[in-house]
Structure 1
Amino acid sequence: MTSIVAKCRTFAIPLRDQLQRTTLPRLLHNGPDTVEELLERHVVKKEKSLDDDENELITRQRLTSTRREALSLYRDIIRATRFFLWADSRGVLWRDILRENARKEFEEARLEKDPEIITRLLIGGRDAVQAALDKLVEKQKQQLEQEQRDSTRR
């Protein structure tokens, strides 16, 4: 690119001097005065820079980290469902229902590209798992206390 500009500059300078000597009227378009200005305005200067590489690397790392977080969340959900061993009114274990719903939600969000939405989904999933486990622990504590009260009454 710089060699082209240098060649054009060596060609344009004598041409400009010759035009100035002939006293031609200046055109009204207010265009570029030199070939270099013309090239600067109209030639696309998209060169691969380190910034582009860095942006690509950051994007790739962000995608990798969200994938890791999503897989980690999914594993945590599967682990948490181990504690839901009772059946619903149809006789299906809650563990299986929760796993099926988690799988369905992850499949629906699989092709999501917006990082903000992905982050919201991950945070919401983490909060839901934590809330479910907290409620489970609270209910188990209540059951243990109830059993202890019943055993002391006998």
Structure 2
Amino acid sequence: MSDTIDSRLQSLGITLPQAAAPAANYVPYVISGNLLYLSGQLPMEDGKVGVTGLVGKDVDVAGAQRAAELCAINILAQAKAALGGDLSRITRVIKLNGFVASAPGFVEQHLVINGASNLIANVLGDAGKHARAAVGMAALPLNAAVEIDAILEIAL
């Protein structure tokens, strides 16, 4: 399956970055039993937040979907680091929690987080289909437009 995941990433033109180090007093992931809990990932690109501002004011839906895709790429990078480089150990993405920095009146958070949901499903296939939440926030760390965390089931 790892070859399949790698080939899917390659066909999508995605190279996973080095997993980001925590920016505060937390760990990037926790493994408990067969569950991998990933801390919130920002839309980091080339070492900086790639999409900033409030969605519906500073960022349109398409730009915010790109931010969600970047978050998903960073989720996969953190999972790869947590799993010793072997993404084939992911048996199921259980849940994504998507947070969207939203201007007052913006109500399309679900469309924004589709950017991450679609990418995860495209890379992981059936194992990438998940439950999720998509909520609006007044602001996010570093003025990021989107932040997403994840819970994954893994093979031990």
Which has a greater percent of helix? 1
Greater relative contact order (Cα 8 A, min sep 6): structure 1 or 2?
2
Which has a greater percent of strand? 2
TM-score, normalization by structure 1: 0.24
**Higher gyration radius (CA):** 1
TM-score, normalization by structure 2: 0.24
